[in-house]
Amino acid sequence: MRKASRWLAAASLVGLLASPPAYAQDNASGTVKVETATGEQSVPHAPKTVVAYDLATLDTLDALGIDVAGAPTAPYPEYLSKYSGDDVDKVGSLFEADLEIVAALQPDLVITGGRSSSQTEALSQIAPTIDMSVDQTDFLNSALARARALGVIFDETSEVELRIAKLESSIATLKDRAKNQGKGLIVLTTGNRMSAFGPGSRFGLLHGAFGVEPADNNLDVSNHGEAISFEYIAKNNPDWLFVIDRDAAIGRGAAATMLENELVENTTAWKSGHVVYLDPATWYLSSAGLTALQRNVDQLSTLFAKAE
């Protein structure tokens, strides 16, 4: 029966894509207005059938106990591994939506963000679709705003506020512990390449929100950071070296061992035992989700507490 209904829905996909979205944006008809990456938008309140492409959104929905009907084929953090199972329909990849499968599910709401944001327009021809990408230049505030919007949509505002209150308390503790820890540098490794990220970048909340003094204030703030060398690390000589291993995050082995280099081994960070391999999944894949944010803060706070 389920397969038959999917086939009928998929068969009408061409017609769906050729006409404007057939849904009302009227608060009197059970919709709510929330702020998205593209501005304020009216969406169904408490939608029943949801497709989510954004891993940070899936992180927050999982924390709130909200089920989804469809999710992308993607590398998932272990705590979100249920989305890779057969209980959730696969609706394409993070970069390319399978529009036929989405249409067959007949969702009440589709959520994109980050890597999947380019699919928003096409998906909006099938069902109400919102882009919940996070503003990288104001990462924490933007992430919390997205979480609050999801709380409004799914009628979970109280739970969202409780989790945000806990997170903000944890961040205050982390910032206090970070005051006397010296300068830090955050590096992304992949293959045989390294990029550094400073204030205002996608991982810049380490400095701006979490209070770690940057080893370099002049790094490129582009999405891919600034390509660096071992000599760069040695020259800046950070007290803490934070490493995000992209290869480990996406299941392609590990690249971080490349840091076992004489230049790096002579830094204060290495000699002090302050080379930290951050959780690659929660920093690289689902970083704006409520669970990922809490885990990232807790990891750093625990490390600094031990170093005091």
DSSP string computed for 199-254: TTSTTTHHHHTT-PEES-S----STT-EE--HHHHHHH--SEEEEEEHHHHTTS--
For helices 139-153 and 157-178, give the axis angle rounded to 10 degrees: 160
Give the pLDDT band of residue 21 (cuts 50, 70, 90): very low
What token pair was written down for 9? 């829905």
pLDDT over threshold 60, residue 295: yes
Q: What pLDDT is attached to residue 23?
A: 34
Q: What pLDDT is attached to residue 192?
A: 87
pTM: 0.88
Rounded mean pLDDT, 107-114: 97
Place of tokens 């106990």: 65
CA 180 – CA 178 distance, rounded (Å): 6
pLDDT over threshold 50, residue 246: yes
Q: How many residues does the chain have?
A: 308
Element (H, E) at 195: strand 193-197
Q: What DSSP letter does each residue of 127-154 carry, written as one string? A: S-EEE----GGGHHHHHHHHHHHHHHHT
**Burial degree of 40 (CB within 10 A; 0-12, 13-18, 19+):** exposed
Q: Which of 82, 24, 27, 25 is nearest to 52 (CA)?
A: 82
Rounded mean pLDDT, 24-32: 63
Q: What pLDDT is attached to residue 14?
A: 38
Give the pLDDT band of residue 136 (cuts 50, 70, 90): confident
Share of the chain above pLDDT 90, in %: 82
Rounded mean pLDDT, 4-26: 40
pLDDT, tens digit, 9 for 90 and up, residues 168-210: 999 999 999 999 999 999 999 998 899 999 999 989 999 999 9
Q: What pLDDT is attached to residue 222?
A: 76
Q: Are residues 152 and 282 in contact, defined by beta-carbon separation less than 8 angstroms? A: no
Q: Are residues 285 and 53 in contact, defined by beta-carbon separation less than 8 angstroms? A: no
Q: What pLDDT is attached to residue 3?
A: 39
C-alpha distances out from residue 161 to 141, 165, 205, Å? 14, 6, 20
CA 11 – CA 3 distance, rounded (Å): 12
Share of the chain above pLDDT 70, in %: 91
CA 45 – CA 58 distance, rounded (Å): 18
Give the pLDDT band of residue 257 (cuts 50, 70, 90): confident
Q: What pLDDT is attached to residue 267?
A: 98
Q: What DSSP letter does each residue of 257-285 carry, written as one string? A: GGG--HHHHTSHHHHTT-EEE--HHHHHT
Q: What pLDDT is attached to residue 55?
A: 98
Q: What pLDDT is attached to residue 28?
A: 52
Higher pLDDT pick, 289 / 225: 289
Higher pLDDT pick, 14 / 192: 192
CA 308 – CA 285 distance, rounded (Å): 30
What token pair was written down for 100? 């036929």
